[in-house]
Amino acid sequence: MEIYLAFGTLIFLFTIGNLAFHNYNKNKHEKFLASLSGKEFIKLNSINTDIDISSSNSIYNYQINKSTIILLNDHIFLLIKSKIFKVAQPILQISRIENRENFAYVWEEITYISKQKVDDKIRIKGY
């Protein structure tokens, strides 16, 4: 009986933790979009994204997710939702190396050297 209680408690804590993480990041997504009001940008919804940053210190090594992509001047913002449970993830900013502009609510900035179109995909190379 005690094993069931322990197992049930772990599942409950895992669910509550994921729900809190999702709500926190979803709130950041909404605040970020509100901070862009008045600026001219392009918003692409529900785009499949393959992220491979194995050479970076990022926690994102390789993931396949759905993302809302924001294109603003020379910046690309990924508002990511995990594919399985649709949990909102932190906002990633992809900018050229010489970028000096900081945006609120962005968790991590990834710098890139080049971007190109390969097999109907955009491939961005950086450090």
What's 63-103 look like in SS3? EEEEEEEEEECCEEEEEEECCCCCCECCEEEEEECCCCCCC
Q: Is 65 in contact with 77 (CB distance < 8 Å)? A: no
What residue spans define the domains of the chain?
2-126
pLDDT number for residue 59? 58
Could you read off the pLDDT tens digit of each residue along the chain, which spans 127 residues?
789 999 999 999 999 999 999 999 999 999 999 999 999 999 999 888 877 766 555 555 667 788 899 998 888 899 988 877 788 889 988 888 778 888 889 988 888 777 777 787 777 776 5
The CA distance from 112 to 98, in Å, is 9
Identity of the amino acid at 89? Q
The pLDDT value given to residue 126: 67
Q: Which of 102, 95, 43 is nearest to 74 (CA)?
A: 95
